[in-house]
Structure 1
Amino acid sequence: MNISVVIPLFNEAESLPELTAWIKRVMIQNNFSYEIVLVDDGSNDGSWNVIRELKALDENITGVRFRRNYGKSAALNVGFAAAQGDVVITMDADLQDSPDEIPELYDRVLNQGADLVSGWKQKRYDPLTKTIPTKLFNSVTRKMSGINNLHDFNCGLKAYKKDVVKSIEVYGEMHRYIPVLAKWAGFTNIQEQVVQHYPRKYGTTKFGPGRFVKGFLDLLSIFFVGKFGKRPMHFFGPIGVISFLIGFFITFYLIIEKLMSIADGSPYRNVTDQPLFFLSLVAIILGSQLFMTGFIAELVSRNSTDRNNYHIDQVI
């Protein structure tokens, strides 16, 4: 199979018939073998009934339905697991992404050697409350990831080699940082393609301002796990040792100072009467705890057994 189109959706019943018909038209024009994987993320507007109707008319459509809303990352993760195509295309279900971009995305992955091609919506039809924070996050992500050639990490329209989607795990709010996950997994040929962005035709956006806070925390998580996930002691250990040694040497200094005062017959204060003593005590305790945290983290797998255990209601 040439292409799998993975589409996560939540309450997009109105747009699905038009979107799937558009995708089908593009696939037939280019003589692609394809599948469309529609992942219903707990919709309550009748989206699943629409998917069932579309499935009855087109055997290339596969539907997956969650019992409740888990989020876009969960939907993508399940869609990636179901995808069988040599090239996997993701797009949003709101008709703001154009299926006409698929042939070029496919060519750049299959014939030009890209591991991942991310869309860039140079001209956006989103409000400033969405575009300004998005630009800020893209700037921060570029600097932290070193992927300097991408302008829009969060664009839903992307193309992947099959190996990429089978090698990464998407959870939390990490769908916006899939290029970073791919890079950490060893896929370094990450490219960008300018794509058309259309105004929303039906419904309203499903993302609120809280996603930026969650997204930033997930970005920090990605970099910590990517760099120290296999060796957490390399992060906690040095900090713990430095803190412990600072506390130890301060305590040692205070004790020597007291002994010298006793030997000279000079007046002296008890070690515990000095603020430095309590500072050193805190440093020793903190250092010991950090070191033990690193040691324990080395013994515990970072992967929860049910992190991506989603309750799927139906598969058709």
Structure 2
Amino acid sequence: MSPEPVRRRSHSARQLSIVVPLFNEQATLAELHRRLDAVLLLLGLPSEIVYVDDGSTDGTAAALAELAARDSRVRVIPLTRNYGQTAALAAGFDAAAGAVIVAMDGDLQHAPEEIPKLLNKLAEGYDIVSGWREQRQDNLWTRRIPSRIANWLMARLSGVALHDFGTTFKAYRAPIIKRIALYGDMHRFIPALASWRGARIAEVPIANIVRPQNRSHYGLSRTWRVMADLITVRFLLRYVTRPLHFFGPAGFACLALGMAGGSWVLATKVITGDPVFVEHGPLLLLSVLLIQSGVFLVGLGLLAELLTRIYVDGRHRRIYTVAQPIDLSADIWGRSEPLRPDDAILRQ
């Protein structure tokens, strides 16, 4: 597959970071790096490749150390254990110095030759460009049908019209992705979280390549966690800055029903003189429970409003621990010549 030519602009300096999370990818790493090298040579942009070793137990770490020793563009972020794909991507995004960041898997399921396609679409004025595996080659019943259902649900609940939320192969403008705090399996919902911040999002068809090693380290075992994260995203998109709007209606409804029931019992007692606990015990008990529930829900909403402030202030806390980064040319995050913030790749 030959790379698509990138459309040039007049800016003399451009920056690009390729972020690749790896977990036991020794078998594919050499070919991946060779193909990335060819694409970056074609692009001719000041670039870096950020490999995040997500606690690999094979020879991935040694292979990365060898790459870093012979290629000054390579930066290696070794995590102390296997944190999962979301944390590995977050580590790469935090370390990336480019004005544009391209994320991709390290198992050769994503073709490096399609990176220019993402960049060209990004140059049209978008903040995020997502790959779309339009012609999937996976198993119909275990992968494709569940994926279509999941993507339909994600699009409906998030309000972002994408066909493929699951692929890691995306291009981001750095100011957008660096403002998004990731945890759980939230990397799938980056477009939804970015859209909430006003990001412009597009997608382009990409080839769906069957994994050469015929396995996925981040697969179906996390389906239920992904669905739980989907509910979380729905809540975050609608109520993250106004939790009382979520708890308040239910709380006030409980209060209103409880007070109405209690008032009716009290009025009946005054008018008829009937023994309240004998004649209307269940209704009285229900009214008390409803009032208590209403007070609890409203109080919970107010507490959540206070916690929102803590969330906003502390959202940049990292969700991973980095071991000693491998960089033979510069400081801890590794560039012999720091990238200038005004050298925006494909800047509008």
TM-score tier by shorter-chain length is: over 0.9
Deviations 1:12-31 (A, max 9, x none): 11111110110110111232
Paired with 1:96 and 1:272, the residues of 2 have a C-alpha distance of: 71
Match of 2:322 in 1: 312
1:69 is aligned to 2:90: no
Distance of aligned partners of 1:203 and 1:59 in 2 relative to their CA distance in 1, 3 Å threshold: farther
Distance of aligned partners of 1:215 and 1:59 in 2 relative to their CA distance in 1, 3 Å threshold: same
TM (norm. structure 1) is 0.92
Deviations 1:49-94 (A, max 9, x none): 1111111121111100111111111111111111111211111011
* 1:309 Cα deviation after fit: 3.9
Tell me which of 161, 164, 168 is aligned to 2:173.
161
Match of 1:302 in 2: 311
Paired with 2:212 and 2:36, the residues of 1 have a C-alpha distance of: 17
Question: Which moves more between the two structures, 17-26 or 201-210?
Answer: 201-210
1:277 is aligned to 2:284: yes
Match of 1:204 in 2: 215
How many percent identity over aligned positions?
38
- Structure 2 matches for 1:35-50, cutoff 5 A? 35-50=48-63
Figure out how many residues of one structure are paired with residues of the other and give that number.
Answer: 309
Structure 2 SS opposite 1:243:
helix
Distance of aligned partners of 1:305 and 1:101 in 2 relative to their CA distance in 1, 3 Å threshold: closer
Tell me which of 229, 238, 261 is aligned to 2:272.
261
Paired with 2:40 and 2:116, the residues of 1 have a C-alpha distance of: 8
TM (norm. structure 2) is 0.84
* 1:269 Cα deviation after fit: 5.2
1:55 is aligned to 2:104: no
Paired with 1:61 and 1:138, the residues of 2 have a C-alpha distance of: 34
* 1:210 Cα deviation after fit: 3.4
Match of 2:295 in 1: 288
Match of 1:170 in 2: 182
Structure 2 SS opposite 1:302:
helix
Structure 1 SS opposite 2:178:
helix
Paired with 1:130 and 1:259, the residues of 2 have a C-alpha distance of: 66
- Structure 2 matches for 1:103-182, cutoff 5 A? 103-109=116-122, 111-127=123-139, 128-148=141-161, 150-182=162-194
Question: Which moves more between the two structures, 21-30 or 272-281?
Answer: 272-281
Match of 2:203 in 1: 192
Paired with 2:224 and 2:45, the residues of 1 have a C-alpha distance of: 40
Partners of 2:17 and 2:102 within 8 A in 1: yes
Distance of aligned partners of 1:35 and 1:271 in 2 relative to their CA distance in 1, 3 Å threshold: farther
Match of 1:216 in 2: 227
Distance of aligned partners of 1:247 and 1:64 in 2 relative to their CA distance in 1, 3 Å threshold: same
Structure 1, unaligned stretches of length 5 or more? Answer: none
Deviations 1:106-163 (A, max 9, x none): 1221x21011111011122323312222211100111112212x10011111111121
Paired with 1:48 and 1:82, the residues of 2 have a C-alpha distance of: 18
Distance of aligned partners of 1:169 and 1:306 in 2 relative to their CA distance in 1, 3 Å threshold: closer
- Structure 2 matches for 1:97-108, cutoff 5 A? 97-108=110-121
Paired with 1:139 and 1:22, the residues of 2 have a C-alpha distance of: 33
Match of 2:195 in 1: 183
Partners of 2:85 and 2:218 within 8 A in 1: no
Distance of aligned partners of 1:307 and 1:213 in 2 relative to their CA distance in 1, 3 Å threshold: farther
Paired with 1:191 and 1:272, the residues of 2 have a C-alpha distance of: 65
**Amino acid corresponding to residue 193 of structure 2 in structure 1:** L
